Every structure is written in structure tokens, then in C-alpha cells.
Chains A and B, each alone.
Chain A
Amino acid sequence: MRRLLAVAAVVLLAPGAAAAAPSGSGLYAENCLSCHGPGGSGTARGPRLRGVGAIAADFYLRTGYMPLLSPGDQPTRRRSPFTARQIDALVAYVASLGKGLPVPRPHPERGSIPVGLRLFTEHCAGCHQVVGEGGYVTGARVPPLEQASATQIAEAVRIGPYLMPRFPRTQISDRQLDSLVAYVQWAKHPDDRGGWAIGHIGPVPEGLVAWLLAGTALVAVCVVIGKRNEA
């Protein structure tokens, strides 16, 4: 709730998309500086941004991870209070602070889903669950990947947001990354030939169905049959 209010406040305070091109440094000063310090120098409330590159700024801003209400909070996906143009300006500004990686351009259509599945199982499934439905790592909630765009997946792999490890090119090559992204994109709507997918997380919802659907239906049948001589 607090977080929601804060978002609302930020939305109200953020300058409306004026006709003039928004100024990255101006936006930065208004929304980021209190934690990340002047010129991205970092403070006790937020990390240095010099050298994180466009890739990190793009990821954190477009997922709505930033701005964060309280520095100790885990960033979560939500609607960004900024317009797309404001984000462009902020990303350009943060990129200008130091040398860093540009926003990646993954090509999932060049990737292979089986290779992606293998990579995902090895590097990602431990936290994100094998179909990307999210999970838990001690101290944090691991987000489901349904809403992650191809670019965001690639960004997250390279920068390792929040508690996530980051996977450099030496570990996951750009080609492999294409496959990984292809797999995650595919896993948003996997092959559900069995019918209603109930979340792709296996036994927990299956147990709910067994008890609430089948159990209730069968008890109802028992009640109907157990009632005698109505006619």
C-alpha cells in the first residue's frame, strides 16, 4: 500500500510529458539524485551509477524497478511513473556518466528453444523455476518472467539486477543468449497439450484442484446418492 501511494506521488510529481524534450539531468536531479548522488557517484542509500551503462538504466526504468520508495526494498515490476521519452532521456543521461554496456538487442528468432531450455535449467531454473514462473531465494522473491520482454531478459542476464547473478559473455555467449531469450519467450505460453495449465508450477495447484474441484464434486455426488427416497 505504502508503495502504491509512493508510486502515485511520483506520478503526480513527475513533470508531465511536455512538448519540449525532457532533460535527462533534470529528471535525474529530481528523481534519482537523493539516493544515487550527484553525477551517479552513489551514496549510502544507493549504488554508484557511473559505468553501469544504458543497459542497467534501461532495465531498471522500463521495468518500473526504479524509482524505489525505500532503499532497502526489493524492486518489483510495476508501471513506470515516467513516459517513454523521459526514460529515453534518463537512460541517455546515465549512459553518459561513464563507460558501460549499451542496451542489448537479442534475436530470439535466431535461437534454439532446446538449447535455451538446457541453459535455463543450468543457470536460471534454480531461482526462476523451470518454466519461468518465479520463486523464492533466501531474502527475496524471484519474479515470474511472464512480463519480461526479450530486451529485458537479455539485460537482466547481463547486469544481474538486485540479488540475481550477472552472466557475462564468457559464460553465456550472445548466441546462447538468443536461445535463452527464445526459451523464456516460449515458456510464457508453453505447450499445454494437457489442458488447463493451472500455472505450470506442478503439485501445489494440482493439489488444490484435487481437493477443491474433484473432492467437492465427489462429496456432492455422495450427498445426492446418500439422500434416499425423495420420489
Chain B
Amino acid sequence: MIRSTVRFLDERSGGAPFLRKALRYVFPDHWSFLLGEVALYAFVVLVGTGIYLTLFFDPSTATTHYHGEYQPLHGLEMTHAYRSVVDISFKVKAGLLIRQTHHWAADVFVVAIVLHLLRIFFTGAFRKPRDLTYYLGLTMLALALLEGYLGYSLADDLLSGMGLAIGYSVLMSVPFVGANLAELVWGGPFPGTPAFWSRMYVAHVFLFPLLIATLLGAHLLLVAARHHTQFRGPRKTERKVVGVPTFPGQTPRSLGLMSAVTAVLFLLGGLVQINPIWLWGPYHVASGTNGAQPDWYLGWLIGALRLVPGFDVTIGHYTLVPNPFWGGALFPLVVFGFLWAFPWLERRFTGDHAFHNLLDRPRDAPWRTAIGAALFTWVALIFLAGSADRVFVTFFVSYGWQILFFRIAVWVVPVVVLLVTRRVCLELQASERVERERELAEEEARRAAAPEPVR
């Protein structure tokens, strides 16, 4: 059976030599190398559940009055888009499970990408020859954020409408061309023409997934072409990679991880309620709800929008830069720009242009680790500021004081983290050096004390 299948395929594709090599491709082992795979499998679940949802979703802004099964929305005016999402939740059997799994998969997809990015950054895996792989990964992260935002917006519930209004305002705030861009995307002033919904829809279900999938393919090809990185260890050198082969060693592990990711997502999808749009109600330009938030992965932007003090840059009666630009556009551009530039910056400052297949431990590169920790702290603080209102409701900590605290902390704490992290790295290095010297000295002493070895 096996041999005849192989023969059949090889005689038609000539792929046997390639496949044989591929099956013995070596995977170095460390648990953190699997984080990227988690993201990959979340993406697979996203595509699968997403295709199912497209079979029921209606991207139309034509209005209707609801008279379906769910009583509390009876008689309310809403768009077909919103209505179809309510129907997916209540009328389509298993529809709510798939919808919630899709949403959880989106949330977990970005969690996995961020964890993967942290691993790559702090171990220096982005260095030559893998900088291109790293750029592709960063671009996919940016695309994933936009793709998630589009999905969140399509449902046309109260939260998604408010989110779109904010997105529109951020685009409007871009100097020189903001208004023109917003007009192009929305087809006119907010809330735009009906065509806007089909534009979002085609972007969400076709353009962005296609882009992400293409970059994902390139990302994986580059990984395979250059092989995985590995931590320093016995027999592991810049020239030799040590690990288990694709088959039989790695295959059941990867399939097991894929099943585990799918399991977690379906369990969440069935057991934990996410984005209950039937509770938010439909969106109208004139309505709003307290504490409107984007999905977590855009929380850093709402934090930034809330932290920036109230001012527009103006000359006389001309507005030059409206306020949302700082938090909504410049801030993410700075973060992504810095991450993009980092491999180049590091090469420039360290003068290290060499190939690297061996990973650094975070302590091995104190500056990189310190800068990474500071950047992460900066973004995390601004992210936390985005939920200050809920913190106030739950823990009675004054919102005004929190905002004041964060406005100072975002400038002070990262600097402290930078210095402390660098110091800790250096101390760790030093203690290792001392340890090694002591071992050497003991060895020496033992050898001196021991009688001449018999040959």
C-alpha cells in the first residue's frame, strides 16, 4: 500500500527525493519554538470557521425590522448585516459555536503571534540570515490586527459601529491626506455608502486572508530554507543543527499541537461567551455605550487615544494634525517602525554583520533585552491605560488619577525597566563567569592534587 502510493506519486511528480529530504528535515527542540505553530493552527481554524460563516452572513446595510426568535430585539430597526449575525447566533444550528470559535481564534491568533514575536526578539532569532523572515512575520502581525478589526466591524452591532467611527476618525487625522483617504475608503463621509460594507467584507474574507496566507507561505519557505535556529548546546554549533526529524519524530507532535489548539478554541467557543452582539444591539450614529472597547489586540490604541492630552495642532484657524493621529496612527507606526528597524539598528550599533544560527539567551545581549523589555513595558502600560475605566468601575480607583499616573508612568517606567533589565543581564553574565572560573579553578586544583594519571 505505502510503497505503491509512493511509487504512484513519484512517477508522476518526481518528488520522492525532495520528500525524503523533507521528512528528515531537522527540528531543534525547545518549547518556545512551537509558539509560531500555535499561531499557524489558529489561522487554520480561523479560515475554516470563517468560510462557514460566509455561508450565512449578509454584508448589506439595507435596513429591516427584526422579528426573529430572539425576543428582546423584536421590532428594532437594524441592518441586514447585524440581523444575519443574530441569525447565525440563534437560528443557524451550531452557528453560535462556530461564530464564537472564530472570534476566540482571532483573539488567540494574535496572542500566539505576540508570544512568538517576543521569543524571536529576545533570542535574537531575527538576525541575519532570518531578518527577512522576521519582516514577513511583523507584516503578518500588522495585517492580523487590521483583519481582526474588520471582522469586529462587520457585525454592525453597537460596539462595531463605535469602533468604525474611531477608525474613521484616526484615518481622517492623517496629515494632508486623511480626509481624502477616509472618503476613498468609506465612499464619502461616515458612515459611508452601502458599498463600504461590501468593501469591508471582501477585504475581510478575501484580500486580507489571501495576503496573510501568501506571506505565511513565504515565511515558512524561508524558515525551511535557512533551517531553524537553536540554542547553544552539545554538538549544536553555527554549522550543525541538532534535533528530531519531521518524520516520524515531529509529525505527531505538530499534529498533536494542532489538535490541542483546535480543542482549546472549540472549548472556548462553546463554553465562554464572546462578543454577544445580541446584547449590544444594533448601531446608530447617535447611540453609544459606556466603556466601548476594541478587541484586546487593539487595546493599546484605545489606551493611547485616551492618554493623549486634548489638543489639535493648529495654525490660526487651520487644523494641521488632529488629536487621534498621535494615539491612533503615530503610536502604532512608531512601535511597528521600531520593530521593523531593529535588525538594522542592531547591526549598525554592534557592527555584527555575521550569520547567526545559534540563539542568544536574553542575558547574552543586555542592550537588546533591555530595549525590548522597555518597549514591551511602554506598550503594555498604554494597553493597560485603555482599561482604566473598567478598573475604576471594578476597583474604585479614580479614572482621573489613573490617567495622570499613566501619563507619567509611560515615560518613566520604561526607562527604569531599561536600566534594571540591562543591569540584571550583566549581573547574570558576571555570576556565570564567576561560576565558570570557580569550576575551572577547582578542576585545576583537583588535577594538581591528584596523582599523575596512569597511562
Which residue numbers of A lie inside 8 Å of B, CB to CB? 113-114, 117-118, 121-122, 125-131, 133-139, 141-142, 144, 183, 186-187, 190-198, 200-204, 206-207, 209-211, 213-215, 217-219, 221-223, 225-228
Contact = CB atoms under 8 A, between A and B. Distances in A.
A200 B104 contact: no
B296 A129 contact: no
Contact of A226 (B34, B281, B293): B34
Contact of A134 (B38, B272, B275, B393): B393
Given A222-B32, A225-B253, A198 B72 contact: no
Given A130-B279, A207-B297, A228-B244, 13 more contacts: A117-B281, A125-B287, A135-B291, A141-B396, A191-B276, A193-B273, A194-B276, A203-B294, A203-B295, A209-B107, A214-B265, A225-B257, A226-B33
A126 B290 contact: yes
A213 B31 contact: no
Interface in B286-332: 286-297, 299
Nearest to A129: B290
B341 interface: no
B108 A226 contact: no
Contacts of B72: 113-114, 117, 183, 186, 190-191
Contact of B293 (A137, A202, A211, A223): A202
A217 to B, nearest CB: 5
Contacts of B70: 191
B115 interface: yes
B296 A211 contact: yes
A187 B278 CA distance: 12
A198 B272 contact: yes
Interface string B21-49: 00000000111111100100000000000
A222 B38 contact: yes
A225 B289 contact: no
Given A117-B76, A193-B96, A136 B289 contact: no
Given A114-B72, A210-B296, A221-B260, A144 B393 contact: yes
A141 B392 contact: yes
A226 B31 contact: yes
A193 B264 CA distance: 19
Contact of B290 (A122, A142, A221): A142
B279 A225 contact: no
A227 to B, nearest CB: 7
Given A135-B291, A135-B389, A121 B274 contact: no
